[in-house]
C-alpha cells in the first residue's frame, strides 16, 4: 500500500470513530423495563397523578406514551407534552385495540434512573429504548424501537417485536 493510501485509510477510520463517539448518548444509563402491572394499569385507563404525559406520533393516534414523575424533568427533542385525561387515554386505548391485527403488541413498563429510581412509566409497541440521566433530576428518553432497531409495524421490520 502506498503511504498516501495508508494516510487516507487512517483518516477514514479516525473520522468514522469520531462520528460514532459523537452519536452516542451521554450520561449514566437508566432502564426502559417491561412491567406487566404498568401495562395493565395503562390498559385499564389509569391516569397516574403527579406525572406529566408525553407522546410520540400523531396526537390522534400516538405510537408511544410516557408519564414522567414530576420529581424529574424530561429533556427531549422527540416527545410532545400533553395534558392527559381519562377520556383521552381511553380514546387512544380504543384505537390501540383495533390495531392489534398488525402483529405488534403493546407493552407497558417502568422508566428507571441509573440508581433504580422510578422516573416514569411507558406504553408502546416498541419494547427497547435508551434512558439517560445527564444531570440529577433530568432524564432523557429516546424514541423506542424493536430489537432490530426499527419501529414496530414499519415495513422494514415485518411488524415483529421480540421481547428482550
How many C-beta atoms surround the C-beta of residue 15 within 10 A? 10
How many C-beta atoms surround the C-beta of residue 76 within 10 A? 17
How confident is the model over 113-132, as pLDDT tens digits?
Answer: 999 999 999 999 888 999 99
> How much is the pLDDT for 158?
44
How many C-beta atoms surround the C-beta of residue 106 within 10 A? 22
> Of 9-23, 61-75, 144-158, which gets the smallest average pLDDT?
9-23
pTM here? 0.76
> How much is the pLDDT for 164?
43
Tell me the C-alpha distance between 135 and 10, whole Å: 35
- Cell numbers 391516569: residue: 47
How confident is the model over 49-100, as pLDDT tens digits?
Answer: 999 999 999 999 898 999 999 999 999 999 999 999 999 999 999 988 876 5
CB of 66 closer than 8 Å to CB of 108: no
> How much is the pLDDT for 161?
42
Q: Is 95 left (phi over 0), alpha (psi -120 to 50) or beta?
A: alpha
The residue-averaged pLDDT of 3-18 equals 52
Tell me the C-alpha distance between 34 and 164, whole Å: 9
Amino acid at each position: 500500500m502506498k503511504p498516501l493510501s495508508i494516510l487516507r485509510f487512517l483518516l477514514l477510520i479516525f473520522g468514522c470513530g469520531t462520528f460514532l463517539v459523537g452519536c452516542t448518548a451521554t450520561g449514566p444509563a437508566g432502564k426502559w423495563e417491561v412491567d406487566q402491572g404498568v401495562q395493565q394499569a395503562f390498559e385499564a385507563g389509569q391516569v397516574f397523578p403527579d406525572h406529566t404525559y408525553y407522546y410520540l406520533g400523531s396526537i390522534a393516534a400516538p405510537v408511544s406514551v410516557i408519564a414522567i414523575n414530576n420529581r424529574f424533568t424530561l429533556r427531549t427533542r422527540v416527545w410532545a407534552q400533553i395534558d392527559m385525561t381519562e377520556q383521552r387515554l381511553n380514546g387512544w386505548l380504543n384505537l390501540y385495540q383495533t390495531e392489534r391485527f398488525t402483529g405488534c403488541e403493546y407493552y407497558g413498563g417502568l422508566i428507571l434512573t441509573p440508581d433504580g429510581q422510578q422516573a416514569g412509566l411507558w406504553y408502546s409497541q416498541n419494547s427497547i429504548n435508551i434512558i439517560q440521566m445527564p444531570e440529577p433530576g433530568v432524564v432523557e428518553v429516546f424514541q423506542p424501537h424493536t430489537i432490530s432497531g426499527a419501529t414496530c409495524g414499519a415495513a422494514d421490520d415485518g411488524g415483529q417485536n421480540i421481547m428482550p
